[in-house]
Amino acid sequence: MTEIAFLFAEITTEAGYSGIGFGYSKRAGGPGMYAHAKEIADELIGEDPSDIGKIWDKLVWAGASMGRTGLTTQAIAAFDIALWDLKAKRAGLPLAKLLGAHRDAVRCYNTSGGYLSMPLEQVLENVTTSVARGIGGIKIKVGQPDVKEDLRRVEAVRHHLGDTFPLMVDANQQWDRATALRVGRALERFDLTWIEEPVDCYDAEGHARLAATLDTPIATGEMLTSIDEHWNLIRQDASDFVQPDAPRVGGITPFLRIMALADHRKLSLAPHFAMEIHLHLAAAYPGITWLEHFEWLEPLFNERLELRDGHMTVPDRPGLGFSLSEQARAWTSDRVTVTEPRV
């Protein structure tokens, strides 16, 4: 992976309030998402920006013949997130406070220092740097062709961190059911916080079997793009940690519904990527939460999040608390302004 495509939406009301939201695509899909967003953008004109649920439904049905999951919902996410940012700014509140925060800071783990392509020495160096910065947990990738190499790397990181520091592993759907069970049992001795995406992301039954068999918690959900797909996992007890991604599921509106379903089953929440959005949502979740730390997006914004004592602090700035940087605008390859409904 060499680049990520971002779709930004900036919404301004007649009264002068504005909000910003974004969606993204890793590898292919960005141009298609942008094309769909351009086609439906005029559906927002004339609507009351407070009626976010109504607007979300309207945008979904505008492209319903293309489906209500995948690219179509991901294109909606930027609009929906911008509307929530706008609503919180109008109230003069951080989004977490508008939603009803349960905490002012969320435990945060780093995931960008332990990729399979990195030699173990580099991974250990990255772990040291992350812990020194105040990170609260470490996640590394597993799924090597040789399982023994996975175990060697996990053992080295566990020894480096000590017995009690939170450590997670992420297989990114690399294993079949039998391999996931065998490796999962071998990983039990490392007292992991979770094993993430051990099998195919749509294999709810496979995840459920692992969750019922292993002592180590199972985490999954980052690749799913609808409420229904998440509900399929939740209702089958397929994971201990639910991992929705607001830009992928269509924005904050569907994310909140997934949160409610997860809370009903008393599951833990660990949103995927986009910490600038998910910090507020995790802070508003009643149960156990973790936030995934990715520094990749920092050049896009003027503001920074504060990391302290293993937690990311919810900013006191209204809305999401971010504004687009000049660098983000310089990287912009195309833009469109919509001010009138389509005739």
Who's near 134: CB < 8 A, 6+ residues apart?
307, 308, 309, 310
Q: Mean pLDDT throughout 227-242?
A: 97
Give the burial class of 52: count Cβ atoms within 10 A of its Cβ; 0-12 exposed, 13-18 middle, 19 or more buried: buried
Q: Name the residue type at position 45.
A: I
User: What's the confidence (pLDDT) of residue 340?
Assistant: 87
Using a pLDDT cut of 90, give the percent of the chain over it.
Answer: 93
Tell me the HSE value of 71 on the side-chain side, using a 13 A CA sphere: 15
User: Which residues carry out catalysis?
Assistant: 141, 272
User: What's the confidence (pLDDT) of residue 122?
Assistant: 96
Q: Are strands 241-242 and 218-220 parallel, antiparallel or unpaired?
A: parallel
User: What's the confidence (pLDDT) of residue 341?
Assistant: 83
User: What's the confidence (pLDDT) of residue 149?
Assistant: 96
**Is the pLDDT assigned to residue 129 strictly greater than 80?**
yes
d(CA 273, CA 77): 14
Q: Mean pLDDT throughout 10-37?
A: 95
User: What's the confidence (pLDDT) of residue 83?
Assistant: 98
Q: Mean pLDDT throughout 293-318?
A: 95
User: What's the confidence (pLDDT) of residue 142?
Assistant: 97
> Which residues, in sequence order, are bridge partners of residue 25?
5
**Is the pLDDT assigned to residue 9 strictly greater than 80?**
yes
* Distances in whole angstroms, Cα of residue 263 to Cα of each of 95, 209, 258, 259, 328: 19, 21, 9, 6, 36
Q: Mean pLDDT throughout 256-284?
A: 97
**Is the pLDDT assigned to residue 42 strictly greater than 80?**
yes
d(CA 111, CA 240): 19
Query: For 66-85, how does the pLDDT look when each residue is reduced to its tens digit (9 = 90+)?
Result: 888 889 999 999 999 999 99
d(CA 271, CA 245): 6
d(CA 337, CA 203): 41
User: What's the confidence (pLDDT) of residue 342?
Assistant: 77
User: What's the confidence (pLDDT) of residue 13?
Assistant: 96
d(CA 38, CA 27): 20
Q: Which domains does the chain have, with CATH numbers?
A: 4-92+323-331 (3.30.390.10), 96-313 (3.20.20.120)
Residue whose tokens read 């990170």: 135
User: What's the confidence (pLDDT) of residue 145?
Assistant: 93
Which pLDDT band holds residue 101 (cuts at 50, 70, 90)? very high
Query: For 154-166, how does the pLDDT look when each residue is reduced to its tens digit (9 = 90+)?
Result: 999 999 999 999 9
User: What's the confidence (pLDDT) of residue 66?
Assistant: 85
Query: For 169-216, how does the pLDDT look when each residue is reduced to its tens digit (9 = 90+)?
Result: 999 999 999 999 999 999 999 999 999 999 999 999 999 999 999 999
Q: Which of 186, 194, 189 is nearest to 221 (CA)?
A: 194
Which pLDDT band holds residue 326 (cuts at 50, 70, 90)? very high
Structure-token pair, residue 66: 């293309």
d(CA 314, CA 320): 9
Q: Which of 155, 216, 222, 131 is nearest to 180 (CA)?
A: 216
Which pLDDT band holds residue 300 (cuts at 50, 70, 90)? very high
Q: What is the mean pLDDT of the chain?
A: 96
Q: Mean pLDDT throughout 300-308?
A: 96
Phi, psi of 8, rounded to the nearest 5 degrees: -105, 140
d(CA 242, CA 7): 25
SS (H, E, C) the chain: CCCEEEEEEEEECCCCCEEEEEEEEECCCHHHHHHHHHHHHHHHCCCCCCCHHHHHHHHHHHCHHHCCCCHHHHHHHHHHHHHHHHHHHHHCCEHHHHHCCCCCEEEEEECCCCCCCCCHHHHHHHHHHHHHHCCCEEEEECCCCCHHHHHHHHHHHHHHHCCCCCEEEECCCCCCHHHHHHHHHHHHHHCCCEEECCCCCCCHHHHHHHHHHCCCCEEECCCCCCHHHHHHHHHCCCCCEECCCHHHHCCHHHHHHHHHHHHHCCCEECCCCCHHHHHHHHHCCCCCECEEECHHHHHHECCCCEEECCEEECCCCCECCCCECHHHHHHCCCCCCCCCCCC
